[in-house]
Amino acid sequence: MTKESGPETIQRVLSEYDLGSKLRQLRLRKKIALADLAKHTGLSSSMLSQLENGKMIPTLPTLARISMVFDVGLDYFFGQKRGRKLFSVVRAKERIRFPERADLPCPAYSFECLTFAATGQNFNAYLADFSKTEPGEGTAHFHDGTEFIFMLEGELNIRFQGEDHVLEEGDSVLMDSSEPHAYSATKKKGSRAVVVTVPPRL
């Protein structure tokens, strides 16, 4: 299976919003011909036709021009996707690895986002690799919501509310991530886990 290129990924994500169809429906509802819309926006009729037919991806400045003519916000185009059920594939080669913090010489962990291609989901999933550090040396952090960790390899010490908890392969933990917590792999080879974060319910 061929790897999806960057432009193809952008095309796939934007296609979920069906921008061309929304533009056409808006124009017809306002009873404006392509030629008249071209005059008002400064865009060519040919370009507008390609946008409506999905043959061209509109830029934000282009959408802004069109939005001003029709007196709608950009949320008209991005506020709702077409009626498709969520299905989002992320290829292993497409993921980018990030350190815990860019300014740390020896970060306690690095992670790759497993859900970056999906939009509108109410959680985020990561593949995390933890480095060997002594318990308590990992940088404590916190964020609103809930965090779930499932251990894939190795052992991981989690310091939570002043106590250390060691997770082994196959173990999992669910915690209130608004409480400061820190990670540290207990063995030299490090450890790996899937981490899922869920924002708080409003």
pLDDT recorded at residue 100: 85
Architecture of domain 92-198: Sandwich (2.60)
The whole-number average pLDDT for the span 34-53 is: 91
pLDDT in tens, 122-174: 889 999 999 887 655 567 889 999 999 999 999 999 999 999 999 999 999 99
pLDDT recorded at residue 151: 98
The whole-number average pLDDT for the span 44-62 is: 89
CATH number of the domain located at residue range(s) 6-78 in this protein: 1.10.260.40
pLDDT recorded at residue 198: 92
Q: Domain coordinates of the chain in residue numbers?
A: 6-78, 92-198
The predicted model scores a pTM of: 0.60
Instruction: Classify burial at 75, counting beta carbons within 10 Å of its beta carbon; exposed 0-12, middle 13-18, buried 19 or more.
Output: exposed
Q: What percent of the chain has pLDDT over 90?
A: 37
